[in-house]
Structures are given as structure tokens and as C-alpha cells.
Amino acid sequence: METKTLFDKIWDAHVVKEVEGGPSVLYIDQHLIHEVTSPVAFLGLEKRGAKVLRPEKTVATPDHNVPTINQHLSIKDELSRNQVEMLKKNCATHGIVYHGLGSEGHGVVHIIGPEMGITQPGMTIVCGDSHTSTHGAFGAIAFGIGTSEVEMVLASQCIMQPKPRKMLIAVNGKLNKGVTAKDIALYVIAQISTSGGTGHFIEFAGSAIESLTMEGRMTLCNMSIECGARGGMIAPDQTTFDYVKGRQFAPKGEDWVKKLAYWKTLKSDADAVFDTVYEFDAANIEPMITFGTNPGMGIGISQNVPDSNKLTGSDKLTYEKSLKYMGYTEGDKMVGKKIDYVFVGSCTNGRIEDFRSFTAFVKGKKKANNVTAWIVPGSRAVEKQIIAEGLVEILNAAGFELRQPGCSACLAMNDDKIPEGKYSVSTSNRNFEGRQGPGARTLLASPLTAAAAAVTGKITDPREFL
């Protein structure tokens, strides 16, 4: 019998048709939309005179553009406000559920899907956002799409996709103290580069991955796009089932029993074949930080900025351009470098566990005077949980304020922009030039490493305090 990977099993169950010499027509179980990549898709739909085929399979929320303070007021930026209002209007016209700003269900699209139990094992999930890969943590095929594809899904609940190759990334062993899912992600990307996963869909496996909570697994799968992969996924297990059970849209009663039995079959066959395989030892991973302008330019926090001796041609030019932008020099020690901003949040690290980790670290300490910190929950539910657990008092006592949910400084489409030339230790996913604002310099790290930087005002190894 033909052996299959986890990816094959889900993919094959969703192929409506194989187009000759072309991509597969893939059925989409769940579509998520936000204000930035959907308006042109709705316009296109209207121009064709087409309707949304299955409005109940799309969920909407505005996240990219929204302010993270005073959300009860009208959005000041006219263009942002217009985009948010357009989403609301399009959803009303087409009968799509809309979780508006300030509502109980509001949040970053990749945070609210899982917390509402919309994200489930075995599903195909797409969104006009590359970090849709987050949902792969549940053993789903989830990937980011362009606006033309958003229109395809609205019109037909299907998408045309070539089947990607399959990659296995196994991380085995016990994680070191102070090492989180974010560090695994940054380590893997540093090892295989930002294009190492291109053309592939990744399955993460191994004992270190199995030991992660759902929040950690989401962080890891979220970052799979940063190595170029279409997405990343993890076979569902008891941790997954326990997380999904009881959530608002999770199956109930007999349906739960039936679904659970199916979900338990969702794993790669023992002798399944992957096109590419990497194995890493968890013992080699230390808290990570980036020093350059793509997420593959990451090193263990105790290390120095690598030199470019081995690089030639455009590789070398690109590397030098990157260090120049960052204001760093080859051989620089990362620890001790002064920083200006700390951002905790985003679809990568905006879940309750991330704020627990940050808060536990800063408890009884004080924010450094030279640091501006933006602590932004990923959703209303996360915000409420932070308050319910009493974390907000601890944060306030340490000199931090909690903001309101949204994508915020991850991509700086709202007012949360890091000023030119300033250094930001950020728990988000991209350190591209200008990502957090024109001229901003981003250092990607875990919430724990961000906490250490926030209280010392410089890049600090969090293990010194643990």
C-alpha cells in the first residue's frame, strides 16, 4: 500500500479535481479574511457579478490597521478607517461573520481562529496573509494566499494550487533552560535559510516538538513561512485535542467522538517518504536573536555577529547592506547592545502563554528608562485573560502598560511605528528593512529575551536571570 505523510492525507482528501498539466483544485474548509487583502477581492467579485459561494465558511476581523489604544474611538487615520469600514460593509453585504473592533471576538486573525475552536485538525485553511501557516499547529493544511486567491475562495470555496514537496524537520531532545518555540523557529530558519523551505510544506516532528504547548506549536508553525515554506504542520495529539475540546466552534457530543477518531488517524505513516529531511538536536539551541534584515540572520544570543569571509558576489553585498542598515559590524558581540523599543505581541507571540512568560520575567523588576515598550495582546480574549490572571497589575508595577489587540508594530500599518534608526527587540516574525517603520531596526526574539531586554535596556541573555 502507498504510504502517506500527514500532508498527503489531508491534501488528498480535499482535491476536487486535478487539472491536466496544471494545479489541483483544492477545497477550502475555512477561509479567514482581514481588511487589507480582501477589498480588491470583493470588488473583483462584484465586477463578475459573482456571489460568495459559502459565506458561512469565511470569518472576518480587522487586525492589520487598527489602533492599539482608544479602540472605542473612531480610527483617526482616514485610509485605515476606510479599509476597516469596507471590510464591515463587505461582510454585511455577503453574509459573512464579522468580529469588529472592540467586540468580544476581535483580534489578530490567526489568534482568534484557534481560540474560538474554528481551527481544527484535518482542515484546509487559507487567508490572505502569509502567517496563516500558524494554524498548521493543529495538524491542518494552512497557508497564505494572494488577493486573487481570496477572490477564488470567496467565489468557489476552492483554490488552484500545485502540490508542494514535503519536508520533515525533526527536533529531538530536551530544550535547554530559557529556550522557547520562538528560539526553535529562529534556529531552524538560521540553519536552512529564508529560502530553504521554498516549494515545500513542512511537517515538524520529534520529541522537542511534541513537548511544546499549542501556543508554542503555533509560534513555530507561524514562522515556517520565514524559511520560504508554504506552511508548517504538526501531527495532532492529546495536547491538540485537549486544546480544541470545549471551544465555541469545536465539535460537540457524538460529532466530537467521530471527529476525534478521524483526527487520531492524522499522522504520517511510519515509512512515509519526504522529499527533504532535516534533523536537529534540541540541545544545540540557545535563546536566539537576529542581527540582520531577514529572519534567517539569527544567532544564539551569546554569539557574535558572523563575519562575511566565506561569502562572495551578491551574497556578500547583500550581507554588507544588511549590517550597514542595522548599524552593526562583523564580530560584534550581541549581548550588551543598547536597545530602544520592545514589542511583545503579533500572530507569532501574542498569545496568553507569551504574556505569562514576559510577565513572570519582569515581575518585581522595573522597565529600563531608555526603553519604550508596547505590550499588545493578540485578541480581546487574550487581553481579558491577562486581566483575569492579574498579570496586568504585575506589568503596571514593573512600568509596562497593556495595549489593545491588533497586529500593531509587527508591520506598523497603524500608529505603532518604531522611529528611524531605533532598535526594537520584537517578538514578531520579520526584521526586514523598514518593517516596523521606515528606518526601524528590528531584532527578533522570544518574549523571554524581550523581557530581559526590556528591564536592562540592552540585549541580555535571559538565562542570566533564570
Partner 1 sequence: MAYDKFTTLTSPAVPLPIENVDTDQIIPARFLKAVERKGFGDNLFRDWRYDKSNQPIADFPLNQAKYSGKILVGGKNFGSGSSREHAAWAIYDYGFRVVVSSFFADIFQGNALNNGILPVVVSPEFLEKIFMAIEADQNTLFEVDLENQKFTICGTGESVGFSINPYKKHCLTNGLDDIDYLISMKEEIAAFEK
- Residue 76 CB neighbour total at 10 angstroms: 11
Determine which residue in the list 434, 457, 463, 465 makes contact with partner 1, applying CB under 8 A. Answer: 434
Report d(CA 421, CA 440) in Å as an integer. Answer: 5
If one asks whether residue 100 binds partner 1 (CB under 8 A), the answer comes out as no
What is the Rg, in whole angstroms, of the alpha carbon atoms belonging to the chain? 21
Alpha helix segments (H runs only) across 377-442? 380-388, 391-397
Q: Which helix (H) or strand (E) holds 148?
A: helix 147-156
Supply the minimum distance, in Å, between the C-beta of residue 17 and partner 1: 6
Determine which residue in the list 251, 432, 463, 465 makes contact with partner 1, applying CB under 8 A. Answer: 432
Task: Report CA-CA distances (Å) from 158 to 30, 136, 147, 319, 344.
Answer: 10, 18, 14, 40, 35
Q: Using H for helix, E for strand and C for coil, what is the string for 91-135?
A: HHHHCCEECCCCCCCCECHHHHHHHCCCCCCCCEEEECCHHHHHH
Supply the minimum distance, in Å, between the C-beta of residue 107 and partner 1: 19
Size (the chain), residues: 466
**DSSP calls for 342-368:** EEE-HHHH-SHHHHHHHHHHHTT----
Q: Which helix (H) or strand (E) holds 455?
A: helix 447-456
> One-letter amino acid identity for 257?
V
If one asks whether residue 199 binds partner 1 (CB under 8 A), the answer comes out as yes
Report d(CA 153, CA 387) in Å as an integer. Answer: 37
Between 231 and 300, name the residue whose CB sits nearer to partner 1. 231
Site string for partner 1, 212-251 (x = CB under 8 A): ----------------x-x---------------------
- Scanning 192-200, 234-242, 326-334, 385-393 for contacts with partner 1 by CB under 8 A, the matching segment is 192-200
Between 321 and 422, name the residue whose CB sits nearer to partner 1. 321
Site string for partner 1, 274-313 (x = CB under 8 A): --------------------x------------------x
User: Do residues 437 and 419 make contact, with C-beta atoms less than 8 angstroms apart?
Assistant: yes
Determine which residue in the list 147, 211, 213, 303 makes contact with partner 1, applying CB under 8 A. Answer: 147
Determine which residue in the list 318, 335, 457, 465 makes contact with partner 1, applying CB under 8 A. Answer: 318
Determine which residue in the list 55, 69, 82, 385 makes contact with partner 1, applying CB under 8 A. Answer: 82
Site for partner 1, residues 36 to 75, rule: CB under 8 A? 36-37, 39-40, 43-44, 48, 50, 53, 64-65
User: Do residues 457 and 339 make contact, with C-beta atoms less than 8 angstroms apart?
Assistant: yes
Between 216 and 295, name the residue whose CB sits nearer to partner 1. 295
Determine which residue in the list 4, 94, 163, 321 makes contact with partner 1, applying CB under 8 A. Answer: 321
Point out which residues bind partner 1 (CB under 8 A).
16-17, 19-23, 25, 27, 36-37, 39-40, 43-44, 48, 50, 53, 64-65, 77, 79-80, 82-83, 86, 128-130, 144-149, 151-152, 155-160, 162, 164, 194-195, 198-199, 228, 230, 294, 313-315, 317-318, 321, 411-413, 420, 430, 432-435, 438-439
